[in-house]
Amino acid sequence: MDDKVKIGLIGLGRMGRIYVEALTFRIPRAELVAVADINGEAAKKIAASYRIKHWFDNYPDLLKIEGIRGVVIAASTSVHTEIIVGAAEAGKDIFCEKPVALTLKETDIALRAVKKRKVKFQAGFMRRFDRGYMVAKKKIEEGKIGKPVSFRSISRDPMCPRLDYARVSGGLIMDMAIHDFDLARWLMESEVKRVCAEGGRLVFDQLREADDIDNATINMLFSNGSLGNVEVSRNALYGYDIRTEVLGSEGGIMIGYARHTPVVLLTKKGAAHDFVPYIMERFGEAYTNELKYFVDCIYKDQDPLVAGQDGRAALEIALAATQSYKEAKPVEIPLASQ
């Protein structure tokens, strides 16, 4: 077996470029040998900058390269299914950014292709690879807080997304809360059976053009009777705010932090400190860790624990919550394939 695992990367937007950096400089076992993007000039420039051997303006050509064992998909969600199917048919192991697709029907098509060709598949839920969340999971498994009975998660972005992104993202709940839904299943060790959501355009009226909202809260009932709540917002103008709390029968655990640097300024006006500015300052290490795990799974011939069904389950909760918001009523899970 080669010392390096050869990887191809599809999609060079914001997340794709983050993955280029990680695969090139921070994962010794990986060798990024090819990139592809519909913007061929961007692919060419990135390949030159990072000394990547191959670049393409279409992903099928990347899949033909002999020796590539894993494919990282960071393209627009609208094309995830066709890329996953193509990569599976080419016998490549797959890492795919969340969500796997925008509908359950498309997700099932993708996962059937993965199963048919028996390739590895990892869903891109980076919070599971954050040190804080990993420690919390371990303590819950060790019984430190007793039986988990309630889940509370907050995800607040410091800015309004571009309208062109908002139009294709699936909406606020799909785009942001899907991470919280995955954490809910993972930390509570139970599926969600019912959701009830409220939301609105409270700050950024321009999102009306994308038929999107900027704030939402979602209540959840788990199959084991536990309770949950997720809040998502686009208007945390003070910084990037990600927090989670699990309350148990014998205690609780809190994950997340607000202060970016361990400095508090004390003046006559009071105490002040900085805040986490954006996603990479909070989860940069987690993004690297999830890719390192994917590469290790290929190298060791192990199936990733964050699998396609995890991606599907979180998507189903997000779709149900979006439906609940739009119809102003509770929605039961499972949904009919849509």
Q: What is the pLDDT of residues 36-48, one digit of tens each?
A: 999 999 999 999 9
Supply the pTM of this predicted model: 0.95
Q: Please give the CATH number for the structural domain made up of 5-119.
A: 3.40.50.720
pLDDT tens sequence across 18-28: 999 999 999 99
CA-wise closest residue to 87 among 114, 125, 55: 114
Task: Tell me what the pLDDT averaged over the chain comes to.
Answer: 96
Give the C-alpha separation, 284 to 224, whole Å: 34
Task: Kindly state the average pLDDT of the residues 108-131.
Answer: 98
Radius of gyration for the alpha carbons in the chain, expressed in angstroms and rounded: 20
- How far CA 209 is from CA of 13, 160, 233, 236, 252, in Å, comes to 23, 13, 18, 21, 42
CATH 3.30.360.10 fits 128-283+314-332, yes or no: yes
- CA torsion angle 165 170 176 181 (round to 10): -160
Binned at pLDDT 50, 70 and 90, residue 258 comes out as: confident
CB atoms within 10 A of CB 275: 16
Task: Tell me: pLDDT of 338 over 60.
Answer: no
Calculate helix-pair angle for 80-89, 104-117, nearest 10 degrees.
10
Taking the C-alpha atoms of residue 313 and residue 327, their distance in angstroms, rounded to an integer, is: 21
The answer, yes or no, to whether residue 221 has pLDDT greater than 70, is yes
Tell me, what's the pLDDT at 33?
98
Q: What is the mean pLDDT of residues 222-238?
A: 97
Q: Which residue has 């986490």 as its token pair?
A: 276
Tokens describing residue 12: 């060079």
- 127 has a pLDDT exceeding 60: yes
Using CA atoms, how far apart are residues 143 and 244, in angstroms rounded to an integer? 18
CATH 3.40.50.720 in the chain is located at: 5-119
How far apart, in Å, are the Cα atoms of 230 and each of 117, 204, 246, 328? Answer: 36, 20, 12, 17
Where, residue-wise, is CATH 3.30.360.10 in the chain? 128-283+314-332
Dmax over CA atoms of the chain, in Å, equals 67
pLDDT tens digit sequence for 265-300: 999 999 999 999 999 999 999 999 999 999 999 999
pLDDT at 28: 96
> CA–CA separation, 56 vs 333, rounded Å?
41
Question: In the numeric block, which tokens belong to residue 336?
Answer: 């009919």
pLDDT digits (tens, 9 = 90+) for 307-318: 999 999 999 999
314, 125 contact by CB (below 8 A): yes
Rounded to the nearest 5 degrees, what angle is found at the Cα of 149, between the Cα atoms of 143 and 151? 105
